Chains A and B, each alone.
Chain A
Amino acid sequence: MRIKYILLSMMCLIALGSITFAIAGQGSFNQSSTRGIEIIDPSMAKPVISKEQAATIASKFSIPFDERTKVTLLKDNAKQMLVWEFTYLNGMNETSMTINADTGQVIGYFNFSRISTGSAISTDEAVLKAKSYLPQFDVDINTIDASRPSIKIVEMPNGNIHNIIWDQQKDGVIVYDNFVAMGIDAHTGNLVSIVKKLSDVSSVNTIPKITQDEAVSMAKSFLSSNYNLPDNSKLLRMNLEIRRPNDWATNRDTSLKGNFTLTWVVEFQDKTRSDDAIVRVWLDAVTGEVIGGETCK
């Protein structure tokens, strides 16, 4: 009889111990968010576009499908996307391409052998050159609602690159983290890189119901009760953007998730950390609900 009770107690202990670890493990550091990019086994993931189909697409950009090319299936957890990555090493030169493994779209291309030193072409020339490369990546910048391009020089050991970025927008409202970014060799105008990230935001309303003043008041009220923001914290700026929310307001998780939403991004001086720190609150510009936020690093 005693053995029965002891066994029963031990089983209870083991079962409850397991539950404890399971619950504790779920809440600890969000490991999935720390693995923004993971190498995936294609036989497990079974992407819509096979490796061979992706290789056919890559070959159109002179990337061979042989032992010189490393082929990897990656999962980009931030973008919730499977991509094929082809990295072709030709001597010291690397050409790489990423292809959406669900759609077959080329979403990234890098060719560093095309950088050279010499006198720089003008930024206007660089933009024209960039536009000329877009059709081969199925982008028509004239039909996409995009901002005027921002241009800056990026220094590389073997030369400089004109980095040209078109931000996606709708009715003049920027779609956060959606863009076409191109790298043009500052000497020759050769294409060094292109990354495109464009999303369907056709269903997003671009007319806010919450005014700027209301948004500032709501954001300040939220921060004073949930972030101990002092009353004398300065409003730094605010923008209307189309963004995906995050859970910062409830648990400080900054991973983007959910649907694109018309958002007031309200930015305050963050005196809780230092005079030059910044805290942002994101408010749904239609309902006024706090849908996220973040603090500068």
Chain B
Amino acid sequence: MKKLKPLATAIFVVMLLLANMVSIAAAAIADSEEQYEYPDDTDALTWDYWMTSYQRIYKYHDSKSNVVSRIPGDTIWMMSSHGGNCGGLCGVYLQLFSGDSLGAGDIPTNTIRLAYADACKTGVDTIWTDIWQGFRNKGTTTFIGFTRDVYPSETDPFTNYFGYYLTQLKDTVSMAAYKAGQNSGIKGDYKIYGDGSITI
């Protein structure tokens, strides 16, 4: 019996070691999967970094029903995702990670002060009803989006600077967007709908 005790303890320690190794491997796999999701929530996290005192949710990975149901309670809204307009055959929409589309018709009545759609073409005004109109028509004070296809190497710095200027320097949306655009590859390729003179 005396000989068995150290053996049992040794087995226990080895099992603990194995459990830890498994958890390390699981963490690594989870991370690699996270990094391969497109587009990631980097911009949303960046936005969060400067917007900690404001409402923020990583909407891209959320379900469409959750995103829509939360809009009436949002004051500052941001989503980093894919945007498109069916090659010109439909209004500009946002696409969630699930593949679901968020179009103008999905936007409920809201009291959002600033909506920032960080995706391709979200500032384009087509002949159809676009996402910016969905927000503005249902109560959003100010909407900002991009007027062409955009890439993370441009939008990451734009989002960084935009959030910084809005929160730290208390710039108006127009000033913050202009300065952020000049400091990134975006330059003037954004469009503000509604009141650009608001601060947050």
Q: Which residues of A contact B (CB under 8 A)?
A: 1-2, 5, 8-9, 12-13, 16-17, 19-20, 23-24, 27-31, 33-37, 39, 70, 72, 78, 87, 94, 96, 108, 110, 112, 152-157, 161, 163, 165, 176-177, 181, 183, 193, 195, 246, 251-256, 273-278, 280, 294-297
Q: What's the nearest-Cβ distance from chain B to residue A62, in Å?
A: 19
Given contacts A5-B9, A35-B49, 16 further A-B contacts (CB under 8 A): A12-B13, A13-B16, A23-B28, A24-B27, A29-B34, A34-B42, A34-B45, A37-B160, A70-B169, A78-B157, A112-B175, A181-B187, A273-B38, A295-B38, A296-B82, A297-B39
Query: Across the two chains, which residue of chain A brings its CB closest to B179?
Result: A110
What residues on B are CB-neighbors of A34 within 8 Å? 42, 45-46, 48-49
B160 and A156 contacting across the interface, CB-CB below 8 Å:
no
In contact, B42 and A12 (Cβ under 8 angstroms): no
Q: How far is the CB of A83 from chain B (nearest CB, A)?
A: 10
Stretch at the interface among B70-78, B105-113, B133-141, B147-155: B147-155
* Total number of residue pairs linking A and B with CB closer than 8 Å: 179
Measured in the bound complex, the distance between the Cα atoms of B91 and A276 in whole Å is 13
Please report whether the interface of chain A is mostly helix, strand, loop or mixed according to DSSP: mixed
Whole-angstrom distance from the CB of A186 to the nearest CB of chain B? 12
Q: Is the CB of A87 within 8 A of B196?
A: no
The answer to whether residues A183 and B182 also contact, given A23-B27, A78-B157 and a CB cut-off of 8 A, is yes
- Complex Cα–Cα for A294 and B105 (A): 30
Q: Which of B37-63 contact A (CB under 8 A)?
A: 37-42, 45-46, 48-49
With contacts A35-B46, A36-B157 taken as known, whether A276 is within 8 angstroms of B85 at the C-beta atoms is yes
23 contacts between A and B (CB under 8 A): A1-B5, A8-B13, A9-B16, A12-B17, A17-B20, A34-B49, A36-B160, A108-B182, A110-B179, A112-B175, A155-B192, A156-B175, A156-B196, A157-B196, A181-B187, A193-B182, A251-B36, A254-B153, A275-B87, A294-B153, A297-B39, A297-B149, A297-B150
Cβ of B98 under 8 Å from chain A: no
- Of listed A36, A72, A87, A156, residue having the most chain B CB within 10 A: A36
Closest CB of chain A to B32's CB: distance in Å?
A: 7
For residue B93, which residue of chain A has the nearest CB?
A: A274
Nearest CB on B from A93, distance (A): 11
* Chain B positions within 8 Å of A294 at CB level: 151-153
B21 nearest CB across to chain A (Å)? 8
CA distance A277 to B48 in the complex (A): 26
Partner of A297, one of B32, B118, B181, B197: B118
Q: In whole angstroms, what is the CA distance A107 to B17 when docked? A: 53
Q: How far is the CA of A295 from the CA of B188 in the complex (A)?
A: 21
